[in-house]
Structure 1
Amino acid sequence: MRFFKFVTGISLLALAFLSNAQSNPQWVQMVTNDQLSVRVVLLNDTQCPKVSVDNVPTAMHLRAAKVVDFPAVCELLVSRDTRSIKIKQQALPTLPSVVDRIAILGDTGCRINKINAQACNDAQAWPLRELSASIGAQTPDIILHVGDYFYRETPCPEGDKGCKGSPSGYNWDTWNADWFAPANSLFQSSVIALSRGNHEECGRAQNGWSRYLSPWAYPKAGQACAEMEKPYILKLKGVNYIMFDSSSGQDDRTSEPQLALYKKAIAQLKIDKDSTNIFLTHRPMWTYNKIKSTYYYGNLTQQIAFKNLLPKRTLFVSGHAHYLQVLDMQTDYDQVIIGNSGTELVKVGNTTQKNVDINKHMANFVYSRSGFGYGILTESSKTLKFYKQNGAHTGECIWLSDKQHPSLICQ
């Protein structure tokens, strides 16, 4: 059995490396209006390829033309019920008729800035390639990313072997190094749905986000960068997955205009008060961690704007904080944070703290786990299992969503 696991692990890594050799990154992501978006980055080709959709040859359109720092990308929108997607005889993922196993990861890029230089060349210090292969081996029905793909904002410091040769700056080479190349095995394994992180906000990596990953149409020439893209809902097996853009703004302060914007955005979704919801938002509403001398409690705008606004059976799932944490709140919405999928981690330890005061909001417990990893949510059992980048199981929680007061049980 151990030999089989060893061989399987080596095979997965080999497949991941081989997949990076393909000329044009191509993937299928779930987007707005209950559709799938087939996308292809044109690295060497000059024309969009044809796509076989349920054995019918279909033309793609140019989503964004080639510019100095970015290659062109093509797109084709198809129904979520599509059963077969092929480009040049290569099959791409589709959604199964029943979605039950959902992989969740977040904060995946390799951090290089003026303060920190993560060892991007070290697979242990930045394990996204191995983590992607591990998720693929779990055969999820869909993969959800809670934001922050791009971290190589400045050049690697001279003489630093850990990140020597790394590209940097807002261009394709950096996007490819930080996300597309190491995540290629994800693209081949499952449909993916993507959230926008603060590293993709206006003034940072918004060009790559809007060009390649945004669920919305690419902005027209002269159109200003959207500080907040409209939220939308993915319906998966009777659960609303609310995709909400919390990339801009600050966590420790808010304003009346921002509160009004958040409330209006949710009101326009017209969410049924009796529905079960998982709220995907990059910035966590709640967290609990002391960083140096300051406690980080979460995002104040969401705490105020969403108070009693959403159905009781709503679970928040976020990244932004670079660790794994689950918070069972007494009177507020429960929170799961999976921001430990590659970016340099913030230490939290392996602890379960009970009766925690989070800025005058009480948590029954705060469950924290250290190390890199990801989560697999099984909807039928409402069980969220956590794994290291190599697939080792590190813990799990059950979300009791059927109660009048939803709660979490973790171990």
Structure 2
Amino acid sequence: MIFHKIRGMRRSLFLTGFGALLAAVVFIGAAAQAAEIYAWTQFTGEGLEARVVTSEAACPKAAIDGSDAQMNIRARPNGDFPALVCSLAIPKNAREASINGRPLALPPPRAQKILLIGDTGCRLQMMMLQACNFIKDWPFRLAADTAAEMAPDLVIHVGDLVYRERACPDSNKGCAGSPYGDNWDTWKADVFEPGRALLSAAPWVFIRGNHEDCDRSRAGWNRFASPLPFTEGTCSRQEPPYLVDLGGIALAVLDVTQAEDRAVNDALAPLFRQQFVSLAKTEAPLWIAMHKPIYASVRIKDGVNVGVNKTLAAATRGAVPANAQLLLSGHIHTFQAMSYSSDLPAQIVAGHGGTTLDRFTPEKLDGVAMDDAKVEKGIGLNNRFGFATLERRDDEWLLTSFGVHGEQLARCHLRGKKLDCEP
């Protein structure tokens, strides 16, 4: 794996107020014939890349440091996705970049404020019909708008972008008329329209969730968000890990979508173990971002914790690099932050960005046994939508959990592998 360093100059996206946040992700629709354009930047295994989704027949004009740059076609339109997807590699030393004259977000050399959000799509699945039409019931747009106002340097989406898998009955006013399935209308409704302000606010790291695996929304994931090159009709069941330099911290991005929660997958556990062992080659302090947490809590039943990923627990036993300080995940639809009595890295779960919340997650985690791990200090937030930020301090990172209106819900201090949360 190549250690990719972030370079670029931090720019303010707020020179003209909140409207400037929409500069890089815009919906141009005043006239009937106007184009639909969404643009953002994201990290891949090859570094920083600009991506565009457009209804036009050709890629838009791009510029890097004042010079014209030619965007490449990433994915051509088809029946399910009648939109062109374009991409452009951005050099690590680029000072500015734009699409159609609109500035793109570039990262600073050292990320000072990192925003965590995940599990954001509206859940239309089996008997679960979330009220996508009502913002109080599906508040991702509100969360994204509020988060964008906080001017993060980087957004890490910890996975599960799209949840609309089945049709909503016309009689259900909460979700009537909702698109569903793996197509452009669904991705637009679940990701691009509600998330457009946040997409423009900072570069993104997209973590693949199990709702983006090869059995669910693979086509949209591969077109829009995958770090891999796009090939029509193919799907990688296991995307390779890659690294992003946060400035003194190495962020490892892992695809663990196939890690079975309830039982050990004996075929895949050795693969995940090998990936964790390989991370030990990284010299910098290490954060690991992956959709599914190793140890977390969905509920505590009869005194026994439920929520450990059996495959990942088996794979990582004795294999977590000594320099790994923090795990960033989603998957469980709540917010949790915990550190352990052993030498495991601290764990943050930020799966409360919009989809239907898990109802029985505990709020008090101190002392909870999670298989062979024991929480030393930890907190949870039950039944609260929101997101979190990590802000760099002199000798620590300040973790803050926010509600969708920006209200502070919890705050913790991360020092190395240990979390100390305020009451």
C-alpha deviation, 1:69, in angstroms = 0.5
Q: 2:212 aligns to what?
A: 200
Unaligned runs of 5+ in 1: 1-7
Q: 2:316 aligns to what?
A: 306
Q: Would you say 1:29 and 2:42 are equivalent positions?
A: yes
Task: Go from structure 1 to structure 2 and tell me whether the alpha carbon gap of 1:291 and 1:13 turns closer, same or farther (over 3 Å shift).
Answer: farther
Q: Which amino acid aligns with 1:392?
A: E
Q: Would you say 1:387 and 2:396 are equivalent positions?
A: no
82-91 or 54-63: bigger deviation: 82-91
Task: Go from structure 1 to structure 2 and tell me whether the alpha carbon gap of 1:252 and 1:238 turns closer, same or farther (over 3 Å shift).
Answer: same
Counterpart of 1:53 (choices 51, 64, 81) is: 64
Q: Which amino acid aligns with 2:42?
A: Q
- 1:354-365 → structure 2 map (5 Å cutoff): 354-365=366-377
CA distance in 2, matches of 1:111, 1:14: 30
C-alpha deviation, 1:269, in angstroms = 4.5
Deviations 1:26-53 (A, max 9, x none): 11112113x211111122x101122111
Q: 1:144 aligns to what?
A: 156
Counterpart of 1:367 (choices 375, 379, 397) is: 379
CA distance in 2, matches of 1:354, 1:320: 21
Task: Go from structure 1 to structure 2 and tell me whether the alpha carbon gap of 1:79 and 1:269 turns closer, same or farther (over 3 Å shift).
Answer: farther
CA distance in 2, matches of 1:354, 1:260: 31
Percent of aligned positions that are identical: 30
Counterpart of 1:266 (choices 265, 273, 276) is: 276
Q: 2:224 aligns to what?
A: 212
- 1:334-373 → structure 2 map (5 Å cutoff): 334-348=346-360, 351-370=363-382, 371-373=384-386
Q: Would you say 1:65 and 2:76 are equivalent positions?
A: yes
Are the counterparts in 2 of residues 387 and 395 from structure 1 also a CA contact under 8 Å? yes
- 1:114-125 → structure 2 map (5 Å cutoff): 114-125=126-137
Q: Is the partner of 1:129 in helix, strand or coil?
A: helix
Deviations 1:175-234 (A, max 9, x none): 100001100001221111110000000110011001110111113x56x42111000111
Q: 2:307 aligns to what?
A: 297
Q: 1:325 aligns to what?
A: 336
Q: Which amino acid aligns with 1:139?
A: A
Q: 2:250 aligns to what?
A: 240
Are the counterparts in 2 of residues 50 and 59 from structure 1 also a CA contact under 8 Å? yes
CA RMSD, aligned part only?
Answer: 2.3
Q: 2:421 aligns to what?
A: 410
Task: Go from structure 1 to structure 2 and tell me whether the alpha carbon gap of 1:304 and 1:275 turns closer, same or farther (over 3 Å shift).
Answer: farther
C-alpha deviation, 1:399, in angstroms = 1.2
Q: Would you say 1:129 and 2:141 are equivalent positions?
A: yes
Q: 2:414 aligns to what?
A: 399
Counterpart of 2:391 (choices 374, 378, 389) is: 378
344-353 or 175-184: bigger deviation: 344-353
Task: Go from structure 1 to structure 2 and tell me whether the alpha carbon gap of 1:346 and 1:292 turns closer, same or farther (over 3 Å shift).
Answer: farther
Q: Which amino acid aligns with 1:207?
A: A
Q: Would you say 1:83 and 2:92 are equivalent positions?
A: no
Are the counterparts in 2 of residues 13 and 130 from structure 1 also a CA contact under 8 Å? no
C-alpha deviation, 1:358, in angstroms = 1.3
276-285 or 324-333: bigger deviation: 324-333
C-alpha deviation, 1:326, in angstroms = 1.3
Are the counterparts in 1 of residues 308 and 371 from structure 2 also a CA contact under 8 Å? no
CA distance in 1, matches of 2:221, 2:179: 18
Q: Would you say 1:155 and 2:167 are equivalent positions?
A: yes
Q: Is the partner of 1:366 in helix, strand or coil?
A: strand
Q: Which amino acid aligns with 2:158?
A: V
Q: 1:182 aligns to what?
A: 194
Q: Is the partner of 1:132 in helix, strand or coil?
A: helix
C-alpha deviation, 1:312, in angstroms = 4.4
Q: 1:256 aligns to what?
A: 266
Are the counterparts in 2 of residues 12 and 134 from structure 1 also a CA contact under 8 Å? no
Q: Is the partner of 1:226 in helix, strand or coil?
A: coil
Are the counterparts in 2 of residues 13 and 133 from structure 1 also a CA contact under 8 Å? no
Deviations 1:294-327 (A, max 9, x none): 9522212221222232124421110000000112
Counterpart of 1:275 (choices 245, 270, 284) is: 284
Task: Go from structure 1 to structure 2 and tell me whether the alpha carbon gap of 1:291 and 1:227 turns closer, same or farther (over 3 Å shift).
Answer: farther
Q: 1:4 aligns to what?
A: none
CA distance in 2, matches of 1:60, 1:13: 26
Deviations 1:220-271 (A, max 9, x none): x56x421110001111111011100011241111233212211223344553
Are the counterparts in 2 of residues 117 and 157 from structure 1 also a CA contact under 8 Å? no
Task: Go from structure 1 to structure 2 and tell me whether the alpha carbon gap of 1:360 and 1:345 turns closer, same or farther (over 3 Å shift).
Answer: same
Q: Which amino acid aligns with 2:247?
A: K
Are the counterparts in 2 of residues 286 and 327 from structure 1 also a CA contact under 8 Å? no
Are the counterparts in 2 of residues 81 and 97 from structure 1 also a CA contact under 8 Å? no
